[in-house]
Structure 1
Amino acid sequence: MTSLPMTEQVQRMVLAMPVAQTLQLRFVNVAPGEVTLELPVTDAFSFRPGQLQATAVFAAADFAAVAAAGTLLPPGWVNATIDTSLKIVAPAAGALLRSRGRVLSAARLLTVCAADVFAVDEQGRETLCATLLATARNVDTAARAPAAVQ
């Protein structure tokens, strides 16, 4: 069995998560160390018509940042968020959110990553609405597999 490139594996893993499906996340760009994703502004996640709650903004930022970190992992490794700080700087109002994640520092066990989230209006104009700094824990799944029972 051939393994998928990490960029493709990250997309599949994220899009398999129920919360990603519910938010209707869509990958726009995936490259080593960077990810751009979008999600529509929907009434289900809005506290006012056309303006998303902070929870959806956080999810867009977290998914983009930690997915970017995941693209640099070796085969057999996965990652998870262990710490974040989100700063909202403008309303998340418009047609969609576009989140650009990037890696700031990658090491064996921890990766520091970030994302900027933009509210995109019907004409495609972007307004920065949030920025996130995160730390992801990298885990070797082979090393954590249970030993075979004899």
Structure 2
Amino acid sequence: METPDSEFGAAVRRALRTMPAAAHLGLRVGALTPGAAELVLAVRPEHTQHDGHVAGSVLGALADFAGGSAAGTLLPPGWTSMTMDYTVKLLAPARGDTVLARGRVVRAGRSTSVAAADVVVLDSGTETMSATALITMRNLEVG
């Protein structure tokens, strides 16, 4: 995929850094390429349920941020995207020390983009897919 913004990486990192919810979770940006984004979460106790598994709401937030970040890599300078809708399917319990959310653009449009995200948990070197999602983003010119 091609991006109209040669500084897409800085734009996506800035968007996540200035978003209070993403900052609260402690997300880090992993790989970024046009049309794809990987986010990394070091699991903390406050991300988990009473049984030690990462909460489904946290997995959903990660999928949303990853899909939105992937869509953001394809936006023109001065544009942002906001979530219109997302659906998350939880596939397996998420127990581990790191969660990776890998977003990818399914369709990039001028006003609406659709992305997908897979959320995997790393536990002692083993990767388990815990959730998958489909995310619809509204693209908006800022300023």
Tell me the TM-score normalized by structure 1.
0.88
CA RMSD of aligned residues (A): 1.4
Alpha-carbon separation, structure 1, partners of 2:118 and 2:131: 6
Measured after TM superposition, the shift of residue 107 of structure 1 is: 0.8
Measured after TM superposition, the shift of residue 41 of structure 1 is: 1.6
Which residues in structure 2 correspond to 1:19-98 (within 5 Å)? 19-98=21-100
Counterpart among 108, 122, 126 of residue 120 in structure 1: 122
1:148 aligned partner: none
Deviations 1:4-41 (A, max 9, x none): 70221111111221211111101111111000111122
Of the structure 1 ranges 6-15 and 103-112, higher mean CA displacement relative to structure 2 is found in 6-15
Displaced runs of 4 or more, over 4 A: none
Letter in 1 for 2:106: L
Deviations 1:84-109 (A, max 9, x none): 10000001110111010000001100
Of the structure 1 ranges 126-135 and 13-22, higher mean CA displacement relative to structure 2 is found in 13-22
Alpha-carbon separation, structure 2, partners of 1:66 and 1:9: 12
1:6 aligned partner: 8
Alpha-carbon separation, structure 1, partners of 2:86 and 2:21: 18
Contact 1:50 / 1:95 at 8 angstroms: preserved in 2?
A: no
Secondary structure, aligned partner of 1:94 = coil
2:109 aligned partner: 107
Query: Where in structure 2 are there 5+ consecutive unaligned residues?
Result: none
Alpha-carbon separation, structure 2, partners of 1:16 and 1:141: 15
Deviations 1:92-130 (A, max 9, x none): 110111010000001100000010000111x22210000
Query: Where in structure 1 are there 5+ consecutive unaligned residues?
Result: 143-150
Alpha-carbon separation, structure 2, partners of 1:56 and 1:105: 25
Secondary structure, aligned partner of 2:49 = strand
Of the structure 1 ranges 41-50 and 30-39, higher mean CA displacement relative to structure 2 is found in 41-50
1:16 aligned partner: 18
Alpha-carbon separation, structure 2, partners of 1:111 and 1:64: 13
Alpha-carbon separation, structure 2, partners of 1:11 and 1:49: 32
Give percent identity, aligned residues only. Answer: 41
Q: Does 1:131 align with 2:132?
A: yes
Q: Does 1:140 align with 2:138?
A: no
Measured after TM superposition, the shift of residue 49 of structure 1 is: 4.9
Q: Which has the larger radius of gyration?
A: 1
